[in-house]
Amino acid sequence: MRRAIRLRRAFVATLILTAMLTIVPMPQSSAVTGGITQTAKRVCRIDWREGRPAVKHLIRCAARHYGVNVDRAMYYARRESRFHPRAFNDWSCAKGIYQHLCRYWPQRAAVYGFDDWSAFNARANIFVTMRMVKRYGWQPWGG
């Protein structure tokens, strides 16, 4: 009987902890966040600064890694910025490959492990987008 009560308490504690970690994001200094950034650096070792072909290659690699449709990833990148990492929209204050709005980028970057990275950094912009799409779909881009 005591064992069953202990197991039930452990199960409830696990559920509560899981709910808390799901709802409240962890601090950015945590090992988890650093691991995400390190994984992104290891996954697709492509230097996006070598030009648009390298950016396209990085998009394909990241999309495959996160299980996102490669054709759609390429379509939205072409539509939003023509694969240009320094793309900027004065009217909406959107920037980067996938045109993240300025007011949303810092939080998105922090949540997905690229805290203090610029939206103009193609690697950060692409990986944040692929992780967002994996989680929420293409809705933020009208898809």
Is residue 51 packed enough to be buried (19+ CB in 10 Å), middle (13-18) or exposed (0-12)?
exposed
pLDDT digit string, tens, across residues 93-130:
999 999 999 999 999 999 999 999 999 999 999 999 99
Give whole-number Cα distances, 57 to 6, 52, 63, in Å.
52, 8, 10
Q: What is the pLDDT of residue 12?
A: 67
Q: What is the pLDDT of residue 19?
A: 62
Q: What is the mean pLDDT of the chain?
A: 84
Type and span of the H or E element at 69: none
Mean pLDDT, residues 41-69? 92
Residue 54 has pLDDT above 90, yes or no: yes
pLDDT band per the 50, 70, 90 thresholds, residue 23: low
CA dist., res. 48 & res. 84, Å (int):
10
Nearest Cα to 85, choosing from 111, 59, 112? 59
Q: What is the pLDDT of residue 140?
A: 87
Question: Are 96 and 125 within 8 A, CB to CB?
Answer: yes
Q: pTM for the whole thing?
A: 0.72
Residue 136 has pLDDT above 70, yes or no: yes
pLDDT digit string, tens, across residues 27-41:
443 334 444 555 555
